[in-house]
Amino acid sequence: MPTVSVVMSVLNGERFLAEAVGSILTQSLTDFEFIIVNDGSTDRTSALLHGYQKSDSRLRVFHQQNKGLVESLNRGCALAQGKYIARMDADDVALKDRLLWQVSFLENHPEVAVVGGAIETIDAAGRSFAVERFPTTDFEIKSSLLRGNCSFAHPTVVMRRETLQSANGYRKVVNHAEDYDLWLRIAERFRLANLGSIVLRYRRHPNQISIRRCRQQAVSALAARTAALLRRSGSPDPLDTFTEITPETLRTLGVTEAEQQRAVVRAYVTTVRGMCDAGEFLEAVQAIQIGRTLDWDRANGAEITDFRLLTARVYWHQRLFGQSLFTACNALARRPVTMGRPLKRLLSRLSFVCFGEIRPLIREGIQQAKHS
């Protein structure tokens, strides 16, 4: 049996499929099987997968009618035979040593059940524009999860197969936040970790589920977090009795309408920022138009300012310079402290550099003190 089972679900993924599949088939760790569930694709995905399967026996392809991501992932994970299950998405690119690094970590840390890693964010053309790192220790990850942060980039995760089985896999009720819900449930019984090094090039583009369904994702994530807090207080899992998450569902869990609106606002701000960073300004305009219909009276000052600054950025890209400057000035006048952000980042970098220069001197002084 293979050491690792790489599990991928794909729906109409022909655009980036070759790069994603190729990055797994050329891994430095070669003892793996690659399970791909074709979830009812209507483009050339099926033909491409047929060709890949003929060229590499480690590939196991399964075709089905469209059932959605959760059912596809659960099917792929149920078919896995490896000691570890590694997630992969059909639009991302794994670094060559990704599986080697993460499997080595799990082998050397038997107390850890799930390990992720940092990501390099790329646009649709493959151009890099950011690096995102996540908390690395068990305590930091669990604290971050309970604050509402996912703390893992889903396609970077490698987990022990028995851990996933004991958690009964992904849950469909928390649609579009199924990974966050899974980490919360696993965190209650197992230790978690992230590598500080980059293991994957994560692609941002308009067709991502997180962008097309950000409202539902925000609501589902709020339900997953609320359920986790209730479980920790000794209550039974309330999501076991629901088939879908709606505003009414959240109200029965004690989540106020104001909390729901704030979560949705944060989701749209994140969506617009991601689209702007990826250079997808047409989609950013559409997200801004939807965002304007939200209840901003419930949002805090920072979220309102961020949304307006992002709107100004989109206006500037559209060469609406006057409108862009007016919107930016209005946002900064409403929250002047925002102007200190660039200075804060600069000071943070300077302090890091300066500390890096004096660190050897500190270490040398400690060694001399020990010898004396």
Sequence-ordered list of residues with C-beta below 8 angstroms from that of 323, at least 6 positions apart, any chain = 315
Residue range of the domain that includes 107: 4-204
Mean pLDDT of 305-326: 91
**What DSSP element (H or E) covers 93?**
strand 93-94
pTM for this predicted structure: 0.87
Tell whether 125 and 28 lie within a shared domain: yes
Tell whether 137 and 251 lie within a shared domain: no
Model pLDDT, residue 343 = 44
Please give the tally of structural domains in the chain: 3
Closest CA to 7 of 72, 83, 66: 72
Cβ-based burial of 111 (10 A; exposed 0-12, middle 13-18, buried ≥19): exposed
The C-alpha atoms of residue 94 and residue 211 are separated, in whole angstroms, by 21
Tell whether 245 and 192 lie within a shared domain: no
Residue 119: CATH number of its domain = 3.90.550.10
Tell whether 62 and 174 lie within a shared domain: yes
Tell whether 229 and 335 lie within a shared domain: yes
| Residues 39 and 64 sit within 8 Å (Cβ to Cβ) | yes
**C-alpha angle with apex 139: 135 to 142, nearest 5 degrees?**
75
Tell whether 91 and 222 lie within a shared domain: no
CA dihedral 300, 306, 308, 309 (to 10 degrees): 160
209 located within any domain: no
Tens of pLDDT, residue by residue over 50-93, are: 999 999 999 999 999 999 999 999 999 999 999 999 999 999 99
Tell whether 33 and 172 lie within a shared domain: yes
Model pLDDT, residue 76 = 98
Residue of higher predicted confidence among 29 and 367: 29
Tell whether 195 and 264 lie within a shared domain: no
Tens of pLDDT, residue by residue over 229-253, are: 999 999 999 999 999 999 899 999 9
The C-alpha atoms of residue 29 and residue 153 are separated, in whole angstroms, by 21
The C-alpha atoms of residue 256 and residue 239 are separated, in whole angstroms, by 17
Model pLDDT, residue 345 = 47
Tell whether 193 and 230 lie within a shared domain: no
